[in-house]
């Protein structure tokens, strides 16, 4: 299976953000991608906190509807990295949502037919130099879906710092975890260390999909990457002539049998106490 992480440009509350995301899906599909991942809050922009309320949408809203259409048109699976979800609007549209109303950082996985297969609301809300924890409601359910022989797990950005979530996904059968993000400078070392550790300790693939762009004084560090169950880097932004934080489509061919073979060769998960 060919996986593509679309590190496209994101601006604060720009209508062009969705157009860039759709163009990136088309580019990934033209390159043979089977599964495409978009960045965190790719439509409004993660650090555009003042625009969250106005930019919030239902799960049936225009942004996710257009992504579903793209998945169907190109015949690819798409993790719509995340949007700001209006939980009350989603409930009004008939969706099952948390009892607590407000806004959520929500990712949605669409299958090749454009059908919604899983919804994940970010569990760990970032409070450090961020208003996310103030503005949003945390999710509580795991995001899991089956696709092309993989069991996909979904987490978002800051979730990387909480290994218990990844172990819970591994115990639930996940063999690939997608991580839409809006990871900024200067914590580049953490951005590269944490997903590699999550891959090694759970013996599964981890793919990080960051955005590219600047918000006031905050700049996203890009460097999207795909790690195998040994923690080896299969592909990463910046491996060509472009800078690692510039727009890019990062692709790698991955095989679910690789997870089984690594776990059989080095059965660390069975040695837990």
Q: CA-to-CA distance for 182 and 131, rounded, in angstroms?
A: 14
Catalytic residue flag (residue 140)? no
Q: CA-to-CA distance for 40 and 42, rounded, in angstroms?
A: 5
CA neighbor of 227 nearest in space, from 185, 179, 181: 179
| 3-state SS string for 23-60 | HHHHHHHHCCCCEEECCCCCCCCCCCHHHHHHHCECCC
Active-site residue, selected from the candidate residues 122, 132, 221, 236: 122
Q: CA-to-CA distance for 148 and 247, rounded, in angstroms?
A: 27
Q: What phi and psi, each to the nearest 5 degrees, are found at residue 145?
A: -155, 150
Active-site residue, selected from the candidate residues 37, 40, 132, 209: 40
Judging by DSSP bridges, how do beta strands 205-209 and 214-215 pair with one another?
unpaired
Catalytic residue flag (residue 122)? yes
Catalytic residue flag (residue 157)? yes
Active-site residue, selected from the candidate residues 6, 157, 209, 221: 157
Catalytic residues: 40, 122, 157
């Amino acid at each position: 299976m060919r996986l593509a992480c679309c590190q496209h440009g994101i601006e604060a509350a720009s209508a062009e953000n969705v157009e860039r995301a759709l163009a990136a899906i088309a580019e990934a599909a033209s390159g043979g991608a089977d599964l495409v991942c978009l960045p965190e809050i790719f439509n409004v922009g993660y650090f555009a906190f003042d625009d969250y309320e106005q930019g919030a949408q239902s799960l049936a809203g225009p942004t996710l509807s257009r992504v579903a259409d793209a998945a169907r048109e190109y015949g690819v699976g798409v993790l719509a990295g995340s949007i700001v979800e209006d939980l009350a609007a989603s409930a009004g549209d008939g969706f099952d949502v948390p009892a607590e109303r407000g806004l959520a950082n929500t990712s949605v996985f669409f299958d090749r037919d454009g059908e919604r297969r899983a919804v994940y609301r970010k569990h760990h809300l970032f409070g450090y130099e961020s208003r996310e924890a103030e503005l949003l409601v945390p999710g509580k359910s795991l995001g899991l879906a089956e696709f092309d022989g993989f069991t996909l797990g979904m987490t978002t950005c800051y979730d990387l710092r909480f290994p218990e979530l990844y172990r819970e996904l591994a115990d639930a059968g996940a063999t690939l975890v997608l991580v839409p993000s809006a990871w900024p400078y200067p914590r580049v070392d953490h951005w590269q260390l944490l997903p590699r550790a999550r891959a090694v300790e759970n013996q599964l693939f981890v793919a990080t999909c960051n955005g590219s762009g600047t918000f006031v004084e905050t700049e996203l560090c890009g460097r999207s990457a795909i790690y195998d169950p040994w923690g080896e880097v299969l592909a990463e932004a910046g491996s060509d002539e472009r800078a690692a934080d510039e727009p890019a489509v990062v692709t790698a061919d991955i095989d679910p049998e690789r997870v089984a073979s690594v776990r059989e060769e080095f059965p660390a998960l069975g040695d837990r106490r």
